[in-house]
Structure 1
Amino acid sequence: MNPELPITSISDAKEYFQLKGCQHMHMQRDFPARYEEYRAMGIGKEQETAWAFEAATEGLAHLESDGVDRDEAWWRHSHVEDLIVQRRFHGLLGRLLNATAVIQPLLSQRDRLLVAETIVGRVDPKWRRGLIFPSHDFGEHEVAREFAQQARNLVAEAFEDPKMETRRTALLEKWRDVTVQCGIRNI
């Protein structure tokens, strides 16, 4: 969908919603006129949830395929993570775990750090973000454990760049805090 063109159908509304990451904030910020047209369509929360679930499963399928481009793997992963966690599609966490394993060999060292930050969470652990906490809190303890293992493996290699190494070290400290809070041991 070209966001410069008006939204005149439910199909246009769906494309715009998914194009903007299934986020009203992005829809309104990026194209206020399109957002008003979208709102005028009267799309309900149930329909938006179905469209977001579709976007998440399509994103997972793309990550799991051989067609994912190495330069876009980390941000596609981050986008799918956001949909799954924000929309509470907890049943998809196991698939995201598998997709993470698929893209891992494609990732540069910097991108491995970005994916590890997505897994551990980018904010203070008290907010229980990332992928380890939701997996644990939803009762998927083995998935939480495997995400913790993946995150540690993603950042096993030290950086030569001091700023990136500082960031990696801070992430590992956060990783320890998260794994302790979730009762994950012996990794």
Structure 2
Amino acid sequence: MTNTEESIENIDQAESYFKLMGCSRFHMMRENPQRNEEYKKLDIDPSIESEWIKEEFEKKISNFHKIETKHIGVFYSSLVSLIERKEFYLEKLVELTQEINNRVNREQLPLILTQIIGNNATKSRGGLIQKSYDLKRPDLAVLYYEQVKSIFEKIELYYFKPTPFIRGYLVDVIEYFGIDADNDFIEKLRLKNYFENFNYYKKEADRRNVNAMKILSEYYREGKGCQKDIVKAEFWELKLKEK
């Protein structure tokens, strides 16, 4: 099957369609409900789907050296989206992460960081570090964390700004899992996070973003990422009331 218009009538067509949709039931349902219903009627065993996922994962891994440098971040994200709750995937990915770190360009670094650290609403953030701990593999978590520190060293070298809040997310992960006892490193992360967040919220507040105005006022009041300034804090509180 090379497109989504062909009907799904047998296991071979189902396999092709499943892989075409990135091995994602969600994408299948979203992209073509009719094909999804045809797929569901075949009642395919989850273990078979797991084999298909593993095949696609290994195929992608084998093609890594063909990926252009500018596409490595997206490639890495697509690999992470495939992984199941199995040590095999995390072991393969941590090896690849070390290779990627050696050839990725700076524009792709935020994508790599986001996959390893995570950015969900929890303090454990849901990235590859958490997945390693979930599988009782703190050794893998440490290896991922070492890659994160190496990436941040590159960011400092390039004077390149990562995704907003990512340093703060890393602080959350470090403190949640107790992965690093280097308080100086953690404090530097926290201070740079405040500074970057302040600039982000200032820009958004100037665009009259209500949430940014509120947080910017708090930053000025507490001196987060800026000099403490009660006058400016009250200015943004007043602006907020005018909205």
State the partner residue of 2:136.
139
Contact in 2 for aligned 1:125/1:174 (Cα 8 Å): no
- Matching of residue 126 in structure 1 with residue 123 in structure 2: yes
Structure showing greater relative contact order (alpha-carbon pairs closer than 8 Å, 6 or more residues apart): 1
Could you tell me how far apart the structure 2 residues matched to 1:4 and 1:120 are? 38
Contact in 1 for aligned 2:117/2:128 (Cα 8 Å): yes
Equivalent runs, 1:64-143 vs 2, <5 Å: 66-84=65-83, 87-126=84-123, 128-143=125-140
Which of 157, 167, 170 is the aligned partner of 2:163?
167
Q: What TM-score results when the alignment is normalised by the length of structure 1? A: 0.83
| Structure 2 gap ranges (5+) | 183-243
Could you tell me how far apart the structure 1 residues matched to 2:86 and 2:58 are? 10
Contact in 2 for aligned 1:135/1:141 (Cα 8 Å): yes
1:108 to partner: Cα distance = 2.5
Could you tell me how far apart the structure 1 residues matched to 2:11 and 2:67 are? 29
- Matching of residue 185 in structure 1 with residue 180 in structure 2: yes
Could you tell me how far apart the structure 1 residues matched to 2:17 and 2:124 are? 30
1:160 to partner: Cα distance = 6.2
Could you tell me how far apart the structure 1 residues matched to 2:141 and 2:150 are? 14
State the partner residue of 1:2.
3
Could you tell me how far apart the structure 2 residues matched to 1:119 and 1:73 are? 14
1:17 to partner: Cα distance = 0.8
Could you tell me how far apart the structure 2 residues matched to 1:12 and 1:153 are? 43
Structure whose CA Rg is larger:
2
Q: What TM-score results when the alignment is normalised by the length of structure 2? A: 0.66
Equivalent position SS for 1:71:
helix
Partner amino acid for 1:79?
A: S
| 1:36-75 C-alpha deviation (Å, 9 max, x unpaired) | 2212222122211221222223223333xx2222233212
Contact in 1 for aligned 2:119/2:126 (Cα 8 Å): yes
Partner amino acid for 2:3?
A: N
| Structure 1 gap ranges (5+) | none
Could you tell me how far apart the structure 2 residues matched to 1:71 and 1:138 are? 32
Partner amino acid for 1:74?
A: G
1:93 to partner: Cα distance = 0.7
Contact in 2 for aligned 1:28/1:35 (Cα 8 Å): yes
Percent of aligned positions with the same letter in both sequences? 26
